[in-house]
Structure 1
Amino acid sequence: MLNDPLFILVALAVAGVAGILLFGIGGFAVGAGGKRANKIMRLRIIAQFVAVLLILLFVFIRGGN
């Protein structure tokens, strides 16, 4: 599975979502709120949407076994 480029792309997308989430939570902990926090969380939602689409594509192409 590690040789599959689509799997690697899915893993990178999920890691990207986790990174954005941690960055956003860190920003809230420091007290950086307002427009910047909203922009970061909006970016997380978009990245999460892309990650879910890639996961669905992976399952569809690989047959869902």
Structure 2
Amino acid sequence: MDADDMRDADWAILNVLREGRANAPLIAEEAGYSSQYVRERLGRLKQDDIVKPLGHGIYEINEDEVPESDHDE
């Protein structure tokens, strides 16, 4: 996935995960999206190795795979 394919929700998810490991409900709460939508986007991000599942619903960011973008804060 390149930066042009990333949605605003994807960047919001990554911003939450840059603060540390988290599960979908926590990410949803902090990013302002529904848990269902966050889970959907996490699945897509996982397919592209941008996030890594650690088990028990916990994810962390894989910074090496994050596309370059002006969305970075």
- TM superposition score normalised by structure 1: 0.34
Report which of the two structures shows the higher radius of gyration computed on alpha carbons.
1
Of Structure 1 and Structure 2, which has the larger fraction of its residues in strand? 2
